[in-house]
Structure 1
Amino acid sequence: MMAAAAAAAGGFRTVEPLEYYRRFLQENCRPDGRDLGEFRTTTVNTGSITTADGSALVKLGNTTVICGIKAEFASPPVDSSNKGYIVPNVDLPPLCSSRFRPGPPGEDAQAASQFLADMIENSQVLLKEDLCIVDGKIVWVLYCDIICLDYDGNLLDACICAFLAALKNVKLPAVTVNEETGLAEVNLKEKIPLTIRKQPVATSFVLFDKLVIVDPTAEEEDLATGTLTIVTDEEGNLCSVYKPGGSALTGAKFQDCINRARARHKEVEKLMDKVVKSVKET
C-alpha cells in the first residue's frame, strides 16, 4: 500500500508539479521537509586546489561549487596606474546538470559571471588599489574561476560564498622591483594574505503566488513565478539586488527579504570565521 501511494505521489508530481508543490506550501513546508524560511546545510572547505593561490569548495544542499583563484603579474590600466584587476568567471559544465550543454558559456553562466563582477564592484570586497605592486609598472590580476560540480538551485549564493572563502585563503608572495634591472623579484618564502575590505553574502529567494521562499532548489526555481537575490555586507548594507523579472514584491515583503538576508549573513559569517580559524590552527 505504501509503495503504491508513493508511486501515485510520484506520478502526480510528474504530471502536475506545480499543484503538487502547492499542496506542500499550504502546510508551510516543502517536499524536502524544510520550512519556507529554512536554508539547506552549508559547508565550506578551503585550500582544496593546491595549484591555486587560493581556493574553496562550498556545498549548499546538493549544489556544489569550487572556486580557484590564480594571481599573475600585469601592467596597470592606462587610466588607473595604481589599480589591479579582478576577473571572475562562472562555468556551468554539462557535468553538473543535464540542463547545461557543451560549448561556449550559456546565458546562465554569463549572467552569474556578470552578477559576480557587479557584486565585486559594488561591495568593495577588495580594493583594486590593494593589488598594485609598483605604481604605473606592475599590478596583480586575480583570475577567479568558479566551477559548478553539482547544480541543484541557488547558484549565486554558493558562488559568492565560495568566492569570499577563496579570497580569504589567498596568500601572495612578496614582490619587489630591482632598481638596476627593473625586473620583479618574487620572494616565495614570504606570503601575504589579501586585505578583505568587506564580506558580502548573498541570500536568494523565489516567489510562489504570495509566498516568499529562501534557498530554492532547482525544481523550485523552475516552478517559481520570480526570483530575488540580495547581497549584504557585515554592516547590513545592501551591496547588490538582483531581480530578473517575474512577480512583483510589495515594499513590506521586500523589507522582510532584506531582514532575512541580514540574518543569513550572520550565519554565514560565523561559518566563515570557524573555517578560517580551523585553517590557522592546522
Structure 2
Amino acid sequence: MPPICSPIVRPGRPAEAAPVVAKQLSDTILSSGMINLKELSVVSGKAAWMAYLDIYCLDADGALSDTALLSAVAAFSHLEIPVVSLNDDGKIVLSEEQGLSDREPVNKEKRKINLSSIPFSLTCVLHKNYILADPTAEEESIMDTIVTVVLDSSSQLISLHKPGGTVLAYTSANGPKAWN
C-alpha cells in the first residue's frame, strides 16, 4: 500500500491494513481450493512452480479485501505455465530461452491454470439496525461492525471475517433480531 493510496498511509511504514488483507487473502485462496496445487507440478515429486502474487493498492477507499480477492482471481485466471525442458544437469529450464528446441519438453505447450472454484466476497458494515454493503473507507471508520463474507462459485461459504466490533445480533423492544 503506497502512500498515494490513502491519506492515512505514511511513507516508510507498512499500512496497518496491508498484513491483515494479505493474510485474509492467502487464507481465502488456500481454503477455497481455487488452485489445484497438483497443476503447479512440473516433474511429479521433484519440481513444481511457485506462484507469487503482488497486489498494489492505488486507492484505499474501503472493502480492501474484496478488491484484493477480485484482483487475485483475475491474475490467476490469466496465469500461463511456460514450456520447459530438462537440461543436461537435470535442471528445469525454459525451452525458448535456452535454445533447447531439440530436447523433449516436460509440457508440450503453454497452459493456463484451471481455477476449480472462483471465490468472491462482499464486505458489509452494521450500524444499529442498518446494513450497508460495499462501504467506503469513511463509512467503515464510523460503523460498529464490519463483516466480510466469502462464497465460492457454487454459493458455498468459504469464510466469514469479522474483526472486532460488536455482536451480530441486536435486540429491540419487539424482541431479538438475528442476522440471517
**More helix, by proportion:** 1
Deviation at 1:127, TM superposition (A): 2.1
Gap runs ≥5 in structure 1:
1-91, 256-282
Q: Is the 8 A contact 1:171 1:193 kept in 2?
A: yes
Matched, 1:190 2:99: no
Which ranges of 4 or more aligned residues in structure 1 deviate by more than 6 Å? none
Count the aligned residue pairs: 162
Indicate the SS of the match to 1:145.
coil
Matched, 1:226 2:145: yes
- CA–CA distance in structure 1, aligned partners of residues 89 and 121 of structure 2: 46
Indicate the SS of the match to 1:227.
strand
Q: Is the 8 A contact 1:200 1:232 kept in 2?
A: yes
Indicate the SS of the match to 2:126.
strand
Partner of 2:52: 143
Instruction: Find the partner of 1:206 among 113, 125, 139.
Output: 125
Partner of 1:101: 10
State how 1:35-114 maps to structure 2 within 5 Å: 92-114=1-23
Gap runs ≥5 in structure 2:
97-107, 170-176
Partner of 2:103: none
Instruction: Find the partner of 2:161 among 230, 242, 254.
Output: 242
- CA–CA distance in structure 2, aligned partners of residues 153 and 225 of structure 1: 15
Indicate the SS of the match to 1:141.
coil
**More strand, by proportion:** 1
TM-score by length of 1: 0.54
- CA–CA distance in structure 2, aligned partners of residues 200 and 176 of structure 1: 33
TM-score by length of 2: 0.83
Partner of 1:77: none
- CA–CA distance in structure 2, aligned partners of residues 172 and 125 of structure 1: 16
Indicate the SS of the match to 2:53.
strand
- Over the aligned positions, Cα root-mean-square deviation in angstroms equals 1.8
Partner of 2:173: none
- CA–CA distance in structure 2, aligned partners of residues 107 and 96 of structure 1: 13
Q: Is the 8 A contact 1:205 1:227 kept in 2?
A: yes
Deviation at 1:104, TM superposition (A): 4.0
